[in-house]
Amino acid sequence: MTLLDVRGLTVRTTDGRTLVDDLSFSVASGERLGLIGESGSGKSLTTLAVLGLLPDGMSATGSIELAGTQIVGAPEKRLTAVRGRDAAVVFQEPLTALDPLMRVGRQIAEPLRVRTGLKGDDLERAVAHALEQVRLPEPERIARAFPHEISGGQRQRVALAMALACDPKLLIADEPTTALDVSVQAEMLELIDTLVREREMAVLFVSHDLAVVAKVTDRALVMKDGRAVEEGAVHTIVGAPREEYTRTLVASARRLESALDLRSAR
């Protein structure tokens, strides 16, 4: 069953520039799709458009159907109902994604309260549970902490807990590990992988890093200058890229990696 169906999505600015150009793709329930591209390729705008979160001065045309709801042109009220329930997002920078003045627990409680109507002790337990889910040690302590009091990796786990709190059908992850250290990144990727597998959740994973995308998704869409360049299984794209641009991308990644292999002959 198709969960997300994007047809002819075009994002334009008010001064007439086209940032995403006639993009089409779909994600089935439980499927994991990677959006790969370099800065300016329109991959992040695409995810924002899916949630109806495009910044002022940009407008989308075409069709985005998310779990049966048309997102393009939808009134704010309908979008609020979709966000969190049908699709939730984890952004790149956990420090800006979290409210610095609000304790972590309250930030997770907010969507839970609105969606589930839980109150008091029940709500508190649900928050602790959400934090445990993302393998945070001492959930009670973390819930009382402010974002600046915990590490970057912990913050990103909190952001993931917020996204997963209402059991969305689709998790959108926009470069969720780019701001993290390598060893923390490895843990985080494994965590995302395990959690979405357990829940049979669909994932739209955005990254510029082919190797990172390959860890989580089965299929990938390569974007350049707002257009789709190539789509297919991650293994095929990495192993036998068809388009010139994809070839350059893979070759660059391979070159850096081979330097590492040469040095660390294993």
Partner 1 sequence: MTPVLELADVALRYRGSAGNVVEDVSLAVEAGHSLALVGESGAGKTTLLRLLLGLARPTSGRVRFDGSDLSLRDREQMRRFRRSVQCVFQDPYSSLDPRRRVGATVAEPLRSLGIDTRATAGPKVAAALERVGMPADAADRYPHEFSGGQRQRIAIARATVCTPRVLLADEPVSALDVTTRVKVVDLLAELKQEQGLTLVMVSHDLSVVASLCERTAVLERGRVVEQGDTGQVLGRPAHPYTRRLIESVPRLPA
Q: For partner 1, which residue of 43, 169, 215, 219 counts as binding (CB under 8 A)?
A: 215
Interacting positions 35-54 with partner 1 (CB under 8 A):
38-39
Burial class, 12, CB count within 10 angstroms (exposed 0-12 / middle 13-18 / buried 19+):
middle
- Closer residue to partner 1, CB minimum distance, 228 or 238: 238
CB of 83 to partner 1, least distance (A): 29
- Closer residue to partner 1, CB minimum distance, 14 or 39: 39
Site string for partner 1, 135-174 (x = CB under 8 A): -----------------x----------------------
Q: For partner 1, which residue of 26, 211, 240, 244 counts as binding (CB under 8 A)?
A: 211
Nearest to 57, CA basis, from 91, 97, 11? 11
By CB under 8 A, is residue 30 in contact with partner 1? no
By CB under 8 A, is residue 210 in contact with partner 1? yes
Contact region for partner 1 (CB under 8 A) — 5-13, 42-50, 52-60, 234-242?
Answer: 234-242
CB of 147 to partner 1, least distance (A): 16
Alpha helices in the chain (DSSP H): 43-50, 76-82, 94-97, 104-116, 120-133, 139-144, 152-164, 182-199, 210-216, 234-239, 244-263
Looking up tokens 């391979």 gives 254
CB of 172 to partner 1, least distance (A): 20
Chain-centroid distance of CA 142 in Å reads: 23
One DSSP character per residue, 157-195 reads: HHHHHHHHTT--SEEEEESTTTTS-HHHHHHHHHHHHHH
Nearest to 163, CA basis, from 216, 66, 102, 97? 97
- Give me the residues that bind partner 1 (CB under 8 A), please: 38-39, 152, 181-186, 189, 208-212, 214-215, 234-235, 238-239, 248-250, 252-257, 259-260, 262-266
